[in-house]
Chain A
């Protein structure tokens, strides 16, 4: 069992994609059992015995477990004309019996828990007699108890002679699951270590390359309350969220995936429908009917999924920046492109955008530069409140430090900031206060010395799902 370690953007997923032939390598070769193999297309990788479990599970939600397992290579009857559902379900049940017998092969896959969906993917890989299974951040949506079951399952697969490449940036998991690990940084091979011989800190310092997390935190928060969120409720997940935000403050929001962090930000930004409650900014209630209204009041969101919610790929950086405040760059009904360029260029230069050409399509820039442009958008629109959702996701390490510096500079200049992040070091590094969300509610608010990984984790994990209370069935089924 081999770990593959590296920060976001280090090239872990890219490497796995090359292994499973989703992407092709421009150089180098892959050797399996002493034989070089050529992997031109995903089917080759499958034939070579390599299977990939993706970070985002790949299946068709409405189809059943068995249908998903046989997707693209159905068992047939009547001379290949008809799908033999009966045999498919039977075989699926056989394989699943080993892994998690509680999964019904006929159930639509979207009705399963994420952890179970993952098991289905693993079962699918076993069908192919996969000898090498690669797992890309398999625990990103799992609870701690589900991770325990996964770890047990992995041990069991290894006992069968299956090799596993386990990708994660979570140290404790890799140390739990793997014997050896390879460290990548900025797309380069750094080192392969025997995990019994090194400490977590040694691995981390090689992963990161420099100590970006260690800088001391300086608060720029002022006493004045800028924004008050009062009993915000979306009727689905978010329940009576109330908090205050001070001028110049950076408020971190931590919590598990699905705890409602993104949803809360979207409510405040006017993106999703608010059922109850309100947001008061500088003493005036904010109209949350649409993002346009929220922006006018002075609230801007830097979304998590940049490609989907952030950028218009084919438009220039300048156009992307100007979208919220087009009126400011318009005279006599026409866009003043020169004025726009004259404002956007120094703005992006100051943020360290490379190359600083705002007339280029934003899609041609790296993730970090795109993120800077989105932040630049809200500076141009001069909002008071910036909401960041996973501000450094998919951004390389260098740009990450720049984004941190930028957020700090914004706070210093009197902007008020909310940061949602799944990376605890990031939250701890940036925040003056940390709000922990759990199942749609604000479970705790930590300040000053209370801000620490264990305190955040203790409040983030739902009580009923804490590992000491749940006897995870799959473990028993396996032993």
Chain B
């Protein structure tokens, strides 16, 4: 209804309005920290922020696709843990590293397939399915390892993750490549059209001949695979595969997606927005740490940022 108020709807902007809003928030927060602390806006620290945001961004991108389709994936943290434990176990057993990495990602995708099947075929609610899966996958990781981290990750793998390419950390490059591919998928591929249609109006999409079940399963498989990638990055940085890895990752990922413009009602979301959302959260933490703000207050700031972002979102979108 309020759409009629939007000026010149036929003109296409290079970046959509919602993403521009997120960018504005990002610039604002960075400007504030730059004014408060001279170190914040230096090259090394910015690289640092990207590095620190990479894992959340990776998870949040998968989460964005699930959210756009009208679902939610609470099981990303435990999915990452299960995946890296499979990967690490294989690496230590002498399986070639690329193969172990593929196995880890395949494990994450299998977790997603399980979630997606329960959601799309059995018709259970995404929140409940992935809440159950959250406990299930965590338990599998803990039972398999007896609760102990797996040490002795091969040096080659750790070096690969911790090296720089043209001064940019490998995790940042991995996530950038993933984001670029996902941008194309969402904005230029039939799958993207289907995901947006299913999330926008599932019943209308079904009647229009969209393969709804297949589309919904695909987003969970994607989310699971990306959780595994995020887990592998952390494993490379820590040098150990921890079965308790990824606790509360889902919340940061949902926050990044929501700040970036994903609607939990489905049908809306942006790859670029989510990336910026992750960087906003990462930058906020980095800046507050630089200023020696206590961790408790950092949590407070994160909460406020999320709520303020949502209020602004609501106000600019109107009440419909």
Instruction: Please determine whether chains A and B interact with each other in the same assembly.
Output: yes
Cβ proximity bits B165-209 to A, threshold 8 Å, 1 near / 0 not? 000000000000000000010001110111011001101111111
Q: Select which of A312, A333, A334, A337 is within 8 A of B197 by beta carbon.
A: A312
How far is the CB of B72 from the nearest CB of chain A, in Å? 19
Instruction: List the A residue with the shortest CB-CB distance to B198.
Output: A312
Residues of A within 8 A of B192 (CB): 335
Q: Does A282 contact B (CB under 8 A)?
A: no
How far is the CB of B184 from the nearest CB of chain A, in Å? 7
Question: A334-B189, A360-B10, A364-B4 known; A324 and B209 CB under 8 Å?
Answer: yes
Bound together, the chains give a CA A361 to CA B320 distance in angstroms of 15
A323 touches B196 (CB 8 A): no
How far is the CB of A429 from the nearest CB of chain B, in Å? 26
Q: Does A295 contact B (CB under 8 A)?
A: yes
Q: Does A273 contact B (CB under 8 A)?
A: no
**Which residue among B3, B12, B208, B211 has the maximum number of chain A CB atoms within 10 Å of its CB?**
B208
Bound together, the chains give a CA A386 to CA B103 distance in angstroms of 48
A323 touches B189 (CB 8 A): no
Bound together, the chains give a CA A98 to CA B206 distance in angstroms of 47
Q: Does A438 contact B (CB under 8 A)?
A: no
Instruction: List the B residue with the shortest CB-CB distance to A330.
Output: B190
Instruction: List the A residue with the shortest CB-CB distance to B192.
Output: A335
A335 touches B210 (CB 8 A): no
Q: Does B267 contact A (CB under 8 A)?
A: yes
Bound together, the chains give a CA A330 to CA B184 distance in angstroms of 13
Instruction: List the B residue with the shortest CB-CB distance to A295.
Output: B209
Question: A335-B189, A361-B3 known; A315 and B207 CB under 8 Å?
Answer: no
Q: Which of A141-149, A197-205, A303-311, A412-420 contacts B (4 or more CB under 8 A)?
A: A303-311
Bound together, the chains give a CA A310 to CA B203 distance in angstroms of 8
How far is the CB of A378 from the nearest CB of chain B, in Å? 9
Q: Does A93 contact B (CB under 8 A)?
A: no
Q: Does B43 contact A (CB under 8 A)?
A: no
Question: A357-B10, A360-B10 known; A312 and B209 CB under 8 Å?
Answer: no
Residues of A within 8 A of B188 (CB): 334-335, 337
Question: A359-B12, A364-B4 known; A312 and B189 CB under 8 Å?
Answer: no
Cβ proximity bits A293-330 to B, threshold 8 Å, 1 near / 0 not? 00110000101000011111111000110111111001
Bound together, the chains give a CA A311 to CA B196 distance in angstroms of 12
Question: A319-B193, A326-B193, A364-B9 known; A312 and B201 CB under 8 Å?
Answer: yes
How far is the CB of B216 from the nearest CB of chain A, in Å? 14
Bound together, the chains give a CA A246 to CA B232 distance in angstroms of 62
Q: Does B268 contact A (CB under 8 A)?
A: yes
Question: A271-B207, A311-B204 known; A326 and B194 CB under 8 Å?
Answer: yes
Cβ proximity bits A267-306 to B, threshold 8 Å, 1 near / 0 not? 0010100000000000000000011100110000101000
Residues of B within 8 A of A301 (CB): 207
B197 touches A292 (CB 8 A): no
Question: A326-B190, A326-B194 known; A315 and B200 CB under 8 Å?
Answer: yes
Q: Does A133 contact B (CB under 8 A)?
A: no
B193 touches A335 (CB 8 A): yes
Instruction: List the A residue with the shortest CB-CB distance to B187.
Output: A335
Q: Select which of B206, B209, B210, B267 is within 8 A of A381 by beta carbon.
A: B209
Bound together, the chains give a CA A335 to CA B189 distance in angstroms of 5
Residues of B within 8 A of A42 (CB): none
A309 touches B209 (CB 8 A): no
Question: A334-B189, A359-B12 known; A312 and B3 CB under 8 Å?
Answer: no
B210 touches A292 (CB 8 A): yes
Q: Select which of B9, B193, B203 is within 8 A of A323 by beta carbon.
A: B193
**Which residue among B184, B203, B211 has the maximum number of chain A CB atoms within 10 Å of its CB?**
B203
**Which residue among B188, B201, B205 has the maximum number of chain A CB atoms within 10 Å of its CB?**
B201
Q: Select which of A291, A296, A314 is within 8 A of B206 by beta carbon.
A: A291
Question: A314-B268, A357-B10 known; A323 and B201 CB under 8 Å?
Answer: no
Please give the number of chain A residues whose Cβ is less than 8 angstroms from any Cβ of chain B in the complex: 39
Bound together, the chains give a CA A335 to CA B200 distance in angstroms of 19
How far is the CB of A195 from the nearest CB of chain B, in Å? 36
Bound together, the chains give a CA A320 to CA B197 distance in angstroms of 8
Residues of A within 8 A of B208 (CB): 291, 320, 323-324, 377
B204 touches A308 (CB 8 A): yes
Residues of A within 8 A of B194 (CB): 323, 326
How far is the CB of A191 from the nearest CB of chain B, in Å? 30
Residues of B within 8 A of A364 (CB): 3-4, 9
Question: A322-B193, A360-B9 known; A312 and B206 CB under 8 Å?
Answer: no
**Which residue among B192, B194, B200 has the maximum number of chain A CB atoms within 10 Å of its CB?**
B200
Instruction: List the A residue with the shortest CB-CB distance to B202.
Output: A312
B3 touches A363 (CB 8 A): yes
Instruction: List the A residue with the shortest CB-CB distance to B194.
Output: A326
Question: A335-B189, A357-B10 known; A310 and B200 CB under 8 Å?
Answer: no
Instruction: List the B residue with the shortest CB-CB distance to A301.
Output: B207
Residues of B within 8 A of A314 (CB): 196, 200, 267-268
Residues of A within 8 A of B267 (CB): 312, 314
Instruction: List the B residue with the shortest CB-CB distance to A374.
Output: B208
How far is the CB of B68 from the nearest CB of chain A, in Å? 11
B207 touches A311 (CB 8 A): no
B184 touches A323 (CB 8 A): no
Bound together, the chains give a CA A271 to CA B207 distance in angstroms of 7
Bound together, the chains give a CA A337 to CA B190 distance in angstroms of 11
Instruction: List the A residue with the shortest CB-CB distance to B268.
Output: A314
Instruction: List the A residue with the shortest CB-CB distance to B190.
Output: A326
Instruction: Give the residues from 139 to 187 in chain B that come closer than 8 angstroms, CB to CB, to chain A.
Output: 184
Q: Select which of A315, A363, A377, A381 is within 8 A of B196 by beta carbon.
A: A315
B184 touches A334 (CB 8 A): yes
How far is the CB of A389 from the nearest CB of chain B, in Å? 11
Residues of A within 8 A of B211 (CB): 292
How far is the CB of B47 from the nearest CB of chain A, in Å? 33
B184 touches A309 (CB 8 A): no
B203 touches A308 (CB 8 A): yes
B204 touches A309 (CB 8 A): yes
Instruction: List the B residue with the shortest CB-CB distance to A292.
Output: B209
Cβ proximity bits B231-258 to A, threshold 8 Å, 1 near / 0 not? 0000000000000000000000000000
Instruction: Give the residues from 357 to 383 in chain A that come closer than 8 angstroms, CB to CB, to chain B.
Output: 357, 359-361, 363-364, 377, 381
Bound together, the chains give a CA A329 to CA B201 distance in angstroms of 21
Bound together, the chains give a CA A355 to CA B9 distance in angstroms of 11
Instruction: Give the residues from 246 to 287 in chain B that come closer than 8 angstroms, CB to CB, to chain A.
Output: 267-268
- Given A320-B208, A355-B10, 7 more pairs with CB closer than 8 A: A271-B207, A309-B207, A312-B205, A335-B192, A360-B9, A361-B3, A363-B3
What are 7 pairs between A and B in contact, CB < 8 Å?
Answer: A290-B206, A312-B205, A323-B193, A323-B205, A325-B209, A335-B189, A361-B9
> Residues of B with Cβ closer than 8 Å to A?
3-4, 9-10, 12, 184, 188-190, 192-194, 196-197, 200-201, 203-211, 267-268
Closest 6 CB pairs of A and B: A324-B209, A312-B200, A323-B208, A295-B209, A326-B190, A364-B3
